[in-house]
Chain A
Amino acid sequence: MTAVPEVITPPSPHRVDLLRRPKASRGFWSWFTTVDHKKIGVLYGATALVFFLIAGSEALLIRLQLAGPNGTVLTASQYNTLFTMHGTTMIFLVGMPLPVALGNYFIPLMIGARDVAFPRLNMFGYWVFLFGGLFIYSGFVLGGAPNGGWFGYTPLTSTPMSQGFLPGHGPDFWTVGLVMLGVGSVTSAINFIVTILNMRAPGMTLMRMPVFVWMMLVTAFLTAFAIPCVTAALIMVFFDRNYGTNFFQAASGGDPLLYQHLFWLFGHPEVYILILPGMGIVSEILPTFARKPLFGYAVIVFSGIAIGFLGWGVWAHHMFATGLGPVAVSAFSLATMLIAIPTGVKIFNWLGTVWGGSLRLKTPMLFALGFIAMFTIGGLSGVTHSIVPADTQQTDTYYVVAHFHYVLFGGLIFAIFGGFYYWWPKIFGRMLNERMGKLNFWMLLIGFNLTFFPMHILGLEGQPRRTYTYASGMGWDNLNLLVSIGSFVIAFGVLVFIVNIIFSTLRGEKATADPWDARTLEWSTPTPVPEYNFAEIPQVQARDDFWHRKYTEDAEGRLVRLPSGGSDSGTMGAVATLEVDEGSGGHGDTPGENGDGHGDGHGIHMPSPSYYPFVMTLGLPILGYAAVFKNPWLAIPGVLILVFGMYAWAIEPGTAEDES
């Protein structure tokens, strides 16, 4: 074995066990205290899936109401609440946390690390996400669910409740809840940035990182910088509405458009926060199932970075009809066209990856191919929005609804489903059923297009969005019925997925460690992945390192399997030269025969579970209710819990002292 560097033991702090340190890494309660990035990833995924089902059900109610003209399934007020909550949920409680779920689980595995940089902060981020979501939904029973749209334009949302523009506490739950969720998003983003930049295994240079990791890095930067914009805007809305400040009230000199600038300065990068992880997932699936390297890795990476930068310069294309004047409008029009270029390059490079491959058309690959096709349609309709005069016809119509669903459903959600089918075996140790997977794919693809393609036409034919009803005789009836039917086909597709999960859990085929003959490091770990991920921190020799341990190329560049395929032989030889870097890989811990750490006796020190992220988060919704109901007494326990959790966490060592 390699030389064992000296184990550095931090100076033993004075023992401060306010709560007895939790130890369990299994069992129900371990889910409350775990700091294992894999378990946290599962928590994120499961929670976001539940929210996905809720938001999907909201969409079905919306489509029932709109199946025919003058619908009576919902009242105007219920409809407004449902479309607000559908959008808010899908963006903040589904679209953002689903990539975070996969990122949490796989970023450390893909870069050869044993955990994320800040394991307890990671847990905190999850609890804030869960409590923030529950907080917003609690409005349904506590005096008004959000009803001002997911975009919450002022002065509709910022005018004091007494004026009756939006009845109930809806906008209060919405603003406070989103500020809370923002805290969770920023912590998880910072955690990802530090993890990716600092914890890569030796040899895992930036340009050897899997594209998914790259895209999550760009996404994390976007999140960390974009969320503060919307947080500021939301706090201003809250104060205008509740405390008579005057940021957005025109009658007393405020500016309603200021809100839109702040919101879209967040809102457009947000689009890329949602879609870049999808592009990353697809960039992992395509090479694996084409059995070819990604075509133009560097160009794909740099286009992703370019999108990340350009994404900051296009926000006002959401405001082409607000009267910014022809000069500003022209500038944002050109910037919007510009961002289509790196996006297009990615699509062509993915097609280049497929070209000449030996394609396994398994479910993940179908979703990845579906992604390319659907995202292309969304991208092209996006380009038509940059044609400002045309956009003044399209904005706030169903054409836009069609456009962004092609990007976010046809794009992100297809990629996420592909990612689920791809990585499920690694996470849960069982395969998802292929036949159900294919049914799932085709139902989603057909249902998706039935639902969203006709919306292009409806929008061009003049149907405005966010309307709970429409008149008969507008020639919209048949297409709307088709759309509603399509939405139930989507629902059936999702149901197939749920059945597949249950079937897989109960009697799914046991997965091997590397069922897809894949390329990246996560597949080099055993299944199920041990708590410490890697018994030995891998030494990375190349991009797609795991693939190169199994395959090489002949003189013509064709694929050749190495005789000892699947073993670590490719890596072992290099260990001697790279061992000096060992310490930079993990937590400074190395496996050793004399390791005396806790846990399964694997001898690797892992961060210990902790109560405090959970405890600290408990304070946040209490503070939230104090704000919504303007109840200072409620703020006292909120602050106390928050501060207690914060301090106890700060003085608790990351890894518990050994019991011996």
Chain B
Amino acid sequence: MRVPKIGRRIRRAGLLVALAALLAACGNENGQNSLDPKGPYAQKIDNLFIPILILAIVIGIAVLSATVFFALKFRHREGGPDNPKQIHGSTPLEIGWTIVPALILAVVAVPTIATIFDLAKKPTGPNVLQVTVSGKQWWWQFELPKQPMVDKKVVTSTELHIPINTKVYLSEVSDNVIHSFWVPELNGKKDVVPGRTNHNTIEADKPGTFLGACAEFCGLSHADMRFRVIAETKVDWQKWLAGQQQGPAQDWSGHIKELTATKYACTNCHILNDSTKVNYGPNLTHLHSRTTFAGGTYEINRKNLTNWVMNAPAMIAMASKDCRLPPPATCVGMPSFTKNTPKGQPVMTKEDADTIVTYLLGEK
């Protein structure tokens, strides 16, 4: 079929718009762009997806321009002929446009299945870092268990440091609801399902900060459940690891212990002096070695931390009204220490908040 001028024009314009949009999208360096892969796993997905996407765009534009072109070419004009040929179908054509898409899909299926199995392979060898990822409401906990690359266990949250050119094998668990761990520039997402341990592998080629987000709706503040993966050279990473493996940077005793362990009972959920332990809330040892907190949504600084310890639900929506009470009160998130104070519990003073924040900022 000869493609007339208008058809060609529509087709060319459509192709240009689509490709311009695609190029612009690939160029967005926001750290969370699936079209901007920064490691072999994400790259394999991209290598598979982009040719198929272009094929889909071409087919799409062909069908769209055919629709527009047919609509214009065959429209009835006043006084024009009005006795179209009554075509009831065409078996060869119909068989043809059944078989051709089937063949295209068969061609697409081969690399798809191959990549599925390739990406699912469990990495082996000494150069593999094991990390246990826990999805919480609404933050991420990362545990680096003792292994050849890690001589002493480390627990941290919100920011995961990894060495470059190293496969990081994630074991994903949840003790609450379903989450989904996703760092688009390092790999596709894998859901974190209670009762199961799902696995995924990430790897970065170069040092950099890669943003991640929870991708499965997990309740009230799902949108605020972000995190980052910081890829470093092996040397820098080992330095980071050694820092995390030390005891608390400051002496946790006396007044600060009285405030956090007794008066406000922060230790019901948090740990402040041991980076190897887990509790209900994030482990706060070495908090200030991180740059963000609260699901990666706030920068760590005095103002943000002060507001947070006094009234966290004002910064991120929480279902934590009775969270300062002992069980069976169940709660989701950090309670306010200035509002909705349960009977018999102290309201946090600005002075106490300042003391606690000063301690936290000292936890490098």
- Please report A residues at the B interface, Cβ cutoff 8 Å: 75-77, 80, 148-149, 153, 155-156, 159, 162-167, 250-251, 253-257, 290-293, 295-299, 321-323, 325-326, 329-330, 333-334, 337-338, 340-341, 344-345, 347-349, 351-352, 354-361, 369, 372-373, 376-377, 380-381, 383-384, 386-397, 457, 460-462, 464, 466-471, 473-476, 553-554, 556-560
Cβ B120 vs Cβ A325 within 8 A:
yes
Cβ B190 vs Cβ A251 within 8 A:
no
Can you sample 17 A-B contacts with CB below 8 Å?
Answer: A291-B84, A296-B89, A299-B94, A345-B98, A356-B74, A361-B76, A373-B63, A381-B56, A387-B48, A393-B45, A393-B184, A396-B189, A457-B21, A464-B223, A466-B217, A475-B29, A553-B86
Report how far A345 CA is from B214 CA in the complex, Å.
38
A324–chain B nearest beta-carbon distance, Å: 10
Residue in contact with A462 in the complex, picked from B21, B56, B184, B319, CB distance below 8 Å: B184
Cβ A155 vs Cβ B101 within 8 A:
no
Beyond A292-B86, A322-B193, A323-B198, whether A153 also contacts B115 by CB under 8 A is: no
Residue in contact with B108 in the complex, picked from A369, A387, A467, CB distance below 8 Å: A387
Report how far A475 CA is from B102 CA in the complex, Å.
38
Interface residues of B in 15-48 (CB under 8 A from A): 21, 24-25, 28-30, 32-35, 42, 44-45, 48
Cβ B88 vs Cβ A256 within 8 A:
no
Beyond A323-B198, A461-B25, whether A290 also contacts B60 by CB under 8 A is: no
Cβ A389 vs Cβ B177 within 8 A:
no
State whether the Cβ of B330 lies closer than 8 Å to any Cβ in chain A. yes
Cβ A395 vs Cβ B332 within 8 A:
no
Residue in contact with A334 in the complex, picked from B74, B109, B117, B226, CB distance below 8 Å: B109
B321–chain A nearest beta-carbon distance, Å: 8
Cβ B116 vs Cβ A372 within 8 A:
no
Task: Write out the residue numbers on chain B whose beta carbons fall within 8 Å of the beta carbon of A386.
Answer: 112
State whether the Cβ of B221 lies closer than 8 Å to any Cβ in chain A. yes
Cβ A165 vs Cβ B176 within 8 A:
yes
State whether the Cβ of B53 lies closer than 8 Å to any Cβ in chain A. yes
Q: Which residue of B lies closest to A163 (CB)?
A: B330
Report how far A169 CA is from B263 CA in the complex, Å.
35
Cβ A359 vs Cβ B93 within 8 A:
no
State whether the Cβ of B317 lies closer than 8 Å to any Cβ in chain A. yes
Cβ A389 vs Cβ B116 within 8 A:
yes
Extra contacts besides A321-B180, A380-B59, A467-B222 (5): CB < 8 Å: A256-B195, A297-B89, A388-B112, A474-B30, A474-B32
Cβ B177 vs Cβ A347 within 8 A:
no
Report how far A599 CA is from B109 CA in the complex, Å.
62
Per-residue A-contact encoding for B201-237, CB less than 8 Å = 1, 0 else:
0000000000101111111111110100000000000
Cβ A251 vs Cβ B56 within 8 A:
no
State whether the Cβ of B87 lies closer than 8 Å to any Cβ in chain A. yes
Interface residues of B in 329-354 (CB under 8 A from A): 330-332
Interface residue SS majority, chain B: mixed
A237–chain B nearest beta-carbon distance, Å: 13
B309–chain A nearest beta-carbon distance, Å: 21
Beyond A354-B71, A461-B25, whether A156 also contacts B76 by CB under 8 A is: no
A394–chain B nearest beta-carbon distance, Å: 8
Q: Which 6 A-B pairs have the closest CB atoms?
A: A392-B188, A250-B195, A467-B223, A462-B32, A250-B194, A296-B89
Report how far A225 CA is from B55 CA in the complex, Å.
36
Beyond A361-B71, A377-B60, whether A460 also contacts B98 by CB under 8 A is: no
Cβ B76 vs Cβ A77 within 8 A:
no
Cβ A358 vs Cβ B331 within 8 A:
no
Task: Write out the residue numbers on chain B whose beta carbons fall within 8 Å of the beta carbon of A341.
Answer: 98, 101-102, 105
Residue in contact with A356 in the complex, picked from B84, B108, B115, CB distance below 8 Å: B84
Report how far A556 CA is from B30 CA in the complex, Å.
63
Task: Write out the residue numbers on chain B whose beta carbons fall within 8 Å of the beta carbon of A298.
Answer: 89
State whether the Cβ of B140 lies closer than 8 Å to any Cβ in chain A. no
Report how far A372 CA is from B70 CA in the complex, Å.
12
Task: Write out the residue numbers on chain A whose beta carbons fall within 8 Å of the beta carbon of B84.
Answer: 290-292, 356-358, 558-559
Report how far A396 CA is from B178 CA in the complex, Å.
13
State whether the Cβ of B113 lies closer than 8 Å to any Cβ in chain A. yes
State whether the Cβ of B363 lies closer than 8 Å to any Cβ in chain A. no
B301–chain A nearest beta-carbon distance, Å: 17
B265–chain A nearest beta-carbon distance, Å: 19
Task: Write out the residue numbers on chain B whose beta carbons fall within 8 Å of the beta carbon of A291.
Answer: 76, 82, 84
State whether the Cβ of B67 lies closer than 8 Å to any Cβ in chain A. yes
Interface residues of B in 281-338 (CB under 8 A from A): 297, 317, 319-320, 330-332
Residue in contact with A333 in the complex, picked from B35, B81, B93, B116, CB distance below 8 Å: B116
Task: Write out the residue numbers on chain B whose beta carbons fall within 8 Å of the beta carbon of A376.
Answer: 60, 63-64, 67
B6–chain A nearest beta-carbon distance, Å: 15
Cβ B87 vs Cβ A389 within 8 A:
no
Cβ A369 vs Cβ B86 within 8 A:
no
Beyond A256-B194, A462-B184, A464-B182, whether A326 also contacts B70 by CB under 8 A is: no
Report how far A556 CA is from B300 CA in the complex, Å.
81
> How many residues in B have their beta carbons less than 8 Å from beta carbons of A?
98
State whether the Cβ of B280 lies closer than 8 Å to any Cβ in chain A. no
State whether the Cβ of B119 lies closer than 8 Å to any Cβ in chain A. yes
Report how far A159 CA is from B175 CA in the complex, Å.
12
Cβ A326 vs Cβ B71 within 8 A:
no
Beyond A321-B188, A372-B67, A389-B116, whether A251 also contacts B193 by CB under 8 A is: no
Cβ A153 vs Cβ B34 within 8 A:
no
Report how far A299 CA is from B68 CA in the complex, Å.
24
Task: Write out the residue numbers on chain A whose beta carbons fall within 8 Å of the beta carbon of B184.
Answer: 393, 462
Task: Write out the residue numbers on chain B whose beta carbons fall within 8 Å of the beta carbon of A293.
Answer: 86-88
Cβ B34 vs Cβ A393 within 8 A:
yes
A359–chain B nearest beta-carbon distance, Å: 5
Cβ A321 vs Cβ B191 within 8 A:
yes
Q: Which residue of B lies closest to A469 (CB)?
A: B223
Q: Which residue of A lies closest to B47 (CB)?
A: A389
Report how far A381 CA is from B182 CA in the complex, Å.
21
B152–chain A nearest beta-carbon distance, Å: 30
State whether the Cβ of B90 lies closer than 8 Å to any Cβ in chain A. yes
Cβ A396 vs Cβ B30 within 8 A:
no
Report how far A369 CA is from B49 CA in the complex, Å.
29
Cβ B112 vs Cβ A396 within 8 A:
no
Task: Write out the residue numbers on chain A whose beta carbons fall within 8 Å of the beta carbon of B297.
Answer: 471
Cβ A337 vs Cβ B108 within 8 A:
yes
Beyond A257-B193, A557-B87, whether A153 also contacts B330 by CB under 8 A is: no
Task: Write out the residue numbers on chain B whose beta carbons fall within 8 Å of the beta carbon of A357.
Answer: 74, 84
Cβ A470 vs Cβ B223 within 8 A:
yes
Task: Write out the residue numbers on chain A whose beta carbons fall within 8 Å of the beta carbon of B191.
Answer: 321-323
Cβ A383 vs Cβ B56 within 8 A:
yes
Residue in contact with B48 in the complex, picked from A255, A380, A390, CB distance below 8 Å: A390
Beyond A251-B194, A354-B71, A389-B44, whether A473 also contacts B34 by CB under 8 A is: no
Cβ A330 vs Cβ B177 within 8 A:
no
State whether the Cβ of B239 lies closer than 8 Å to any Cβ in chain A. no
Report how far A111 CA is from B297 CA in the complex, Å.
60
Cβ B116 vs Cβ A321 within 8 A:
no
Cβ A388 vs Cβ B116 within 8 A:
yes
State whether the Cβ of B13 lies closer than 8 Å to any Cβ in chain A. no
Cβ B177 vs Cβ A155 within 8 A:
yes
Cβ B194 vs Cβ A395 within 8 A:
no
B205–chain A nearest beta-carbon distance, Å: 18
Report how far A338 CA is from B24 CA in the complex, Å.
32
Beyond A330-B113, A373-B64, whether A462 also contacts B213 by CB under 8 A is: yes
State whether the Cβ of B5 lies closer than 8 Å to any Cβ in chain A. no
Report how far A474 CA is from B28 CA in the complex, Å.
8
Task: Write out the residue numbers on chain B whose beta carbons fall within 8 Å of the beta carbon of A297.
Answer: 88-89
State whether the Cβ of B83 lies closer than 8 Å to any Cβ in chain A. yes
Cβ A389 vs Cβ B49 within 8 A:
yes
Beyond A256-B194, A384-B52, A558-B85, whether A333 also contacts B113 by CB under 8 A is: yes
Report how far A329 CA is from B223 CA in the complex, Å.
28
Beyond A251-B194, A296-B94, A355-B74, whether A166 also contacts B223 by CB under 8 A is: no
Cβ A76 vs Cβ B44 within 8 A:
no
Cβ A351 vs Cβ B67 within 8 A:
yes
State whether the Cβ of B75 lies closer than 8 Å to any Cβ in chain A. yes
